Amino acid sequence: MSDTGRPRHPGTGSGLVLEQLSVGYRDSGRNWVPVLRQVTAEARRGELTVLLGPNGAGKSTLVRTVCGLAPPLSGHCYLDGVDLARMSDSERSRSLAVVLTERGVPGLVRARELVALGRHPHTGLTGRLNAHDHRRIAWALAAVGASDLAERRVGELSDGERQRVFTARALAQEPSALLLDEPTAFLDITGRVAVTSLLRQLAEGQHLAVVVCTHDLELALRVADMVWLVSRGQLRSGTPEELSLSGEIGAVFDGDDLVFDTDSGTFRPHGSPEQRRSAVVSGTEPAAAMTARALRRVGWHVPGPDEPAPPWPALDVHVGRHRFHSTHAGSPHEHATLGEFTRWARGLARERSTS
Amino acid sequence: MTHTVDGGVGMHQAAPPLPRPRARMPVPARLGALSAATASLLALALVLGSTPIPLVEVGHALFGTGPVSAQTHTIVWEVRLPRAVTALAAGSALGLAGLQMQTLLRNPLAEPYILGVSSGASLGVAIVVLASGSGSAAFTAGLAGGGRAGTVLAAAMGAASVLALMLLLARWTQSVATLLIIGVMVGSGVSALVSVLVASADPRQVQQFVMWGMGSFSGPTWPDLAWLLPILGVGSLASLALVKPLNAMLLGDTYARTMGVNVRVVRWLVLFVASGLAGTVTAFCGPVAFLGLAIPHLTRIALTTADHRILMPACVVMGGAVALLCGTVASLPGTAAVLPLNSVTALVGAPIVITVLLRGRANTHGGAL
């Protein structure tokens, strides 16, 4: 995806283009409250674009507007060069498909029937499915790895399986852009990784513009081709690395306790390395790496392999086969389990920060 | 440490084997079986009554294939056939209307009367039967003779008024939940007006009104059916045209909109068609309780699907069958007595639905809807 020289004119761009788009919602007094003002961004085909932002920043409103569920307050939203606002509902449904957070399904519906509903924009007056429709349904189920779920009732499926079936329903619409609202909510870590990598495959393999709205910052930054970062009525777009480097992700997400660590692309407890005491860890892997991670979590600065080791670490840990040996303030300590050691190290870190 | 790991692995190994999918009878076969059952019930409805008539004689009377007494001919043609045809048509219409309302309102307790249509019909009839009769002898015909047309017309106009009000209110509300609550409120308000009329009316007329409220398939005659059948026919055809958008709405309004469905128009049409069907039945048969709620559930369970392309025609057949059964039971075969239809629909229908819901697959999947 190195075609950065592609003109950004909406008439020729492929994928989803927001141009000077303002979105908002209608309050109880039926007045429009703007949430995002004049945002411009692009989600290209073949790329996974992640829409990030704190709660209430306007992610959902933006998704609703792009889906045509709410009108834009001003500006345009183009899909493959065509203004979405000028499309009819049925035209839009043939080029843009959505996976929403609502997953209520009548108990009797089977996975294949749910996916078949995605053919709705393509079928005739009676909704009768022809051979092509059946092929697309089978293809959509296969694309999300849910072929073996086809005859199961949707109500019987796990959250992760249901998410895949709903994604297949959207694919069955044969869209050129796919929008997903919080697809990894309610999923365990395995499910989150599976769904995210599936979306990446779909973007690349099917040449779709995939836009995912999520809270899952760390995972998103690892897999996103492009990030739309929404906060305070604005949208900044860039690659995850660009936005990390410019400090914009940190500016949006840093809290009182956690800060975004540009190097690792993850969050760590507050405080600069200088303010925190350093620890060095040696010993057998992978226990040593886990020990270092535990220490970082409880507030120690543990330099990574590329960083210079601190000359006078406050805590020196050696991880043995079954014991954790450490030296703190000149005296040796020994712990039998990582849990015991971590609690002890947290106590030390707290002592320091309160003194 | 090792202990935990072992426990974890053990848990995975203990995963129960997946239940093997039960062999399913294909949908056309089930529809065929259902239709055969309906035909048998139709024959039964013609055979059974205050005096049983052998099936052969019924055949002779219907098709003129043999000699029958004039009395038998009259019973079959003027009593039992109109009653059976009315039951078939009313049951089908209520089943169709109930199915659409349950899908539209996404509520398994929804039924055709939930938005107050039957209350409207009751008010219309109450005004004609109770109010016009009070203090004068003008109302003597009651529900008999010329009064019957008046009752049908009054019920139809009452139902239509409430329906018009609901359609108007539906334009201002986005949420079907709000619409449901408004419908229940309107129904309560209209029922309250009926109570006021009942409280101040002559007991004999109240008795007539109460009888109307119990529902009956015996009322309509051939001239009535000449109106009832075409209206229900048009309503049923209109229902079939709503199959596709109703399927899209299984996932909720928002998904339906992203699939290109004009949800506001579809909602309006469903309200109009379903309430129109139910209102028409009510005008001719009185408010027939329970069928509109039960038939869609029975149909879903019989065909184990939520697809309206199958459910719509199946509801027509199932509705006809259940209504025929209830109508035949209500006529108390072999006796001269008659049970109130609404008592039968509830007494016969409720245990069936409860049994099927508790024992059927639907129970394990969070209800049939």
- What integer pLDDT is reported at residue B42 of this predicted model? 92
The length of chain B, given as a count of residues: 369
pLDDT (mean) for A171-183? 91
Distances (CA, A) of B51 to B66, B78, B335: 20, 15, 7
Contact B92, B316 (CB under 8 A): yes
- Report d(CA A116, CA A140) in Å as an integer: 10
Which is nearest to A216 in space by CA: A97, A98, A65, A51?
A: A51
**How far apart (Å, rounded) are the C-alpha atoms in residues B132 and B205?**
10
What pLDDT was estimated at residue B169? 85
Is it the case that residue A355 has pLDDT exceeding 90?
Answer: no
Could you tell me which of B163, B150, B155, B162 has the C-alpha nearest to residue B190? Answer: B162
CA distance A268 to chain B (A): 27
Distance CA A161, CA A164 (A): 5
Q: Residues 6 or more apart from B98 whose CB is under 8 A from it?
A: B110, B111, B112, B274, B291, B292, B293, B294, B295, B296, B315
Q: What is the pLDDT of residue A10?
A: 45
Nearest to A106 among B21, B248, B250 (CB): B250
Q: Is B21 on the interface with A (CB under 8 A)?
A: yes
- A106 CB neighbours in chain B (<8 A) are 250, 306, 368-369
* Least confident window among A180-189, A262-271, B54-63, B334-343: A262-271
Instruction: Read off the pLDDT of residues A199-208 as tens digits, 9 standing for 90 and up.
Output: 998 899 889 9
Of B248, B306, B367, the CB nearest to A120: B248
Indicate the residue of A104, A107, A127 with minimum beta-carbon distance to B252. Answer: A104
Give the span between the Cα atoms of B227 and B13, in whole angstroms. Answer: 66
Backbone angles phi, psi at A34, to 5 degrees: -70, 140
Q: Which of residues 169-188 of A touch B (CB under 8 A)?
A: 173
Distance from CA of B177 to the nearest CA of A (A): 15
Cα(B133)–Cα(A354) distance, rounded to whole angstroms? 90
| Per-residue confidence (pLDDT) for residue B76, from 0 to 100 | 87
Distance from CA of A99 to the nearest CA of B (A): 8
Task: Please provide residue A335's backbone torsions phi and psi, each rounded to the nearest 5 degrees.
Answer: -130, 145
Report the pLDDT value the prediction gives residue B13, as an integer from 0 to 100: 43
What span, in angstroms and rounded, lies between the C-alpha atoms of A318 and B56? Answer: 100
Q: Which residues contact A324 (CB under 8 A, 6 or more apart)?
A: A291, A317, A318, A334, A335, A336, A337, A338, A340, A341
Q: What's the pLDDT score for residue A176? A: 92
Query: Is B303 within 8 Å of B312 (Cβ atoms)?
Result: no
Tell me whether B222 touches chain A (CB under 8 Å): no
* Neighboring chain A residues of B369 at a CB cutoff of 8 Å: 106-107
Work out the end-to-end distance of chain B between its first and last CA atoms, rounded to an integer number of angstroms. Answer: 47
B298 CA to chain A: closest CA distance, Å?
13
> Cα(B216)–Cα(B339) distance, rounded to whole angstroms?
9
Q: Looking at A177-225, which runs of residues are DSSP E strands?
A: 177-181, 209-213
Low-confidence stretches of chain B (pLDDT < 70) are 1-24, 131-147, 359-369
pLDDT tens track for A303-353: 877 777 777 778 888 888 778 888 887 788 888 888 888 888 888 877 765
CB contact under 8 A, B259 and A93: yes
Give the global pTM: 0.79
- The pLDDT of residue B36 is 92
Q: Please state, in angstroms and rounded to a whole number, the distance separating the CA atoms of residues A24 and A74.
A: 10
**The two structure tokens encoding residue B260:** 């290109």
Picking from B122, B337, B123, B326, the residue whose alpha carbon sits closest to that of residue B213 is B122
The answer to whether A151 faces chain B, any CB pair under 8 Å, is yes
> Per DSSP, what are the bridge partners of residue A78?
A17, A83
Most B-contacting residue of A105, A108, A129, A153 (CB-CB within 10 A), to test interface: A108
Average model confidence (pLDDT) across chain A: 83
* Domains identified in chain B and CATH numbers: 51-356 (1.10.3470.10)
CB contact set of A229 (below 8 Å; sequence gap of 6+): A52, A53, A235, A236, A237, A238, A243, A248, A249, A252
Nearest CA in chain B to A104: B251
For residue range B144-197, list pLDDT tens digits in order: 444 677 788 888 888 888 888 888 888 787 788 888 888 889 889 999 998 998
Q: B80 φ, ψ to 5°?
A: -75, -40
Taking CB atoms and an 8 Å limit, are A89 and B304 in contact across chains?
no
> Which residues in chain A have their CB less than 8 angstroms from residue B23's CB?
none
Paired tokens of A3: 């075609």
| Centroid of chain to Cα B134 | 33
DSSP string, A322-342: S-EEEEETTEEEEESSHHHHH
Output DSSP code: residue B299: H
The minimal CB distance from A100 to the residues B255, B261, B304 is found for B255
Q: What are phi and psi of A328, to 5 degrees?
A: -135, 130
